[in-house]
Amino acid sequence: MSTVSVFFLMLFAVYVPIISSDHYAVKDTNTYCIILDSNITAVLHYTKSDNSTEQLRFNISGYEDGSCSGTQYINISFESYIGLKKSALTIYFKQKDDLFQISNFTLAAYFEQKVNATESRHMYVMDEHAELDVSTSSNEAYKCSEAVLNFKGGSTVTFHNIRLIAYARLNTTDFPENQEYDICQLDVRTSDLVPIVVGVCLAALVIIVLIAYLVGRARAKRQGYASV
């Protein structure tokens, strides 16, 4: 592969991330109050019958329900072939002034016998030190390349390429074309780095091309001397 091809592949990786998302929506009579787009993964820690600690890594994908009244929430029911059945991730929201944010979350896991867990059911609860930075104004949607929910004991649920809105009154399950987004701090910092990365790549390409030119010129001179 040529140097130029490698360069353009690097630019493609910077500007075109791979996006794969599931779509969830919670309805209240004729309108939708919660819409969530994300690819969700989880890492759960559990205790085996021999008192050793094990991890389960899996994707969360299922069907949703929830409530638009009072404390709004979305409940995603799912199963996993690695050893989970009839499990559920529940996320609660609260509204204060002109903002909405995640206020609490739980994950009810039902372990299959093949997992060899000490208990067949375990309720994972929010870590009291969890940073709940998923929040935005009520007329905007939250958007981030990665958002993490931290549970007690070190278990995590990660939302990849998340778009989220709560306390909304939308007529369809899709985000409006003119939807405004509050970009998370992680992506704001990343966007600031992109011009720097591109500049470094361009400078490296110029140096490589210059070196290739000088080497080619030196070879041509040697071949000319040899022919004489």
| Token couple for 190 | 């990343």
Q: Within this chain, do residues 178 and 191 fall inside the same structural domain, yes or no?
A: no
Domain that holds residue 40: 22-182
Q: Within this chain, do residues 175 and 193 fall inside the same structural domain, yes or no?
A: no
Mean pLDDT of the 30-44 span: 96
Specify if 2 maps to a domain: no
Mean pLDDT of the 60-76 span: 96
223 phi, psi to nearest 5 deg: -65, -35
Q: Within this chain, do residues 105 and 206 fall inside the same structural domain, yes or no?
A: no
Specify if 204 maps to a domain: yes
The one-letter amino acid at 98: D
Instruction: State the pLDDT confidence band at 4, using cuts at 50, 70 and 90.
Output: very low
Specify if 84 maps to a domain: yes
Contacts of 95 (CB under 8 A, 6+ apart): 72, 138, 166, 167
Q: Within this chain, do residues 153 and 210 fall inside the same structural domain, yes or no?
A: no
On average, the pLDDT of the chain sits at 83
| Token couple for 120 | 């067949």
In this structure, what is the dihedral angle of CA atoms 206, 207, 211, 213, given to the nearest 10 degrees?
10
Q: What percent of the chain has pLDDT over 70?
A: 76
pLDDT at 215 over 80: no
Computed on alpha carbons and rounded to an integer, the radius of gyration of the chain in Å comes to: 25
Mean pLDDT of the 132-159 span: 91
Q: Residue 90 sits in a domain of what CATH number?
A: 2.40.160.110
Q: Within this chain, do residues 170 and 192 fall inside the same structural domain, yes or no?
A: no
Q: Within this chain, do residues 192 and 176 fall inside the same structural domain, yes or no?
A: no
Question: What is the helix (H) or strand (E) element at residue 194, kind and residue range?
Answer: helix 185-227
Q: Within this chain, do residues 94 and 152 fall inside the same structural domain, yes or no?
A: yes
Q: Within this chain, do residues 158 and 208 fall inside the same structural domain, yes or no?
A: no
Contact (Cβ atoms closer than 8 angstroms) between residue 36 and residue 162: yes
Q: Within this chain, do residues 165 and 204 fall inside the same structural domain, yes or no?
A: no
Specify if 225 maps to a domain: no
Can you give the pLDDT at residue 192? Answer: 40
Q: Please state, in angstroms and as integers, the Cα–Cα distance from residue 61 to each residue in 41, 49, 87, 126, 150, following that order.
A: 9, 28, 11, 20, 19
Specify if 3 maps to a domain: no
Can you give the pLDDT at residue 136? Answer: 85
pLDDT at 67 over 60: yes
Higher pLDDT, 42 or 134: 42
Q: Within this chain, do residues 139 and 193 fall inside the same structural domain, yes or no?
A: no
Domain count across the chain: 2
Q: What is the pLDDT of residues 41-58, one digit of tens each?
A: 999 999 999 999 999 999
| Buried-exposed string 123-152: b where 16+ CB fall within 10 A, e elsewhere | ebebbeebeeebbbeeebbbbbeebebbbe
Q: Within this chain, do residues 153 and 205 fall inside the same structural domain, yes or no?
A: no
Contact (Cβ atoms closer than 8 angstroms) between residue 148 and residue 188: no
Q: Within this chain, do residues 51 and 135 fall inside the same structural domain, yes or no?
A: yes
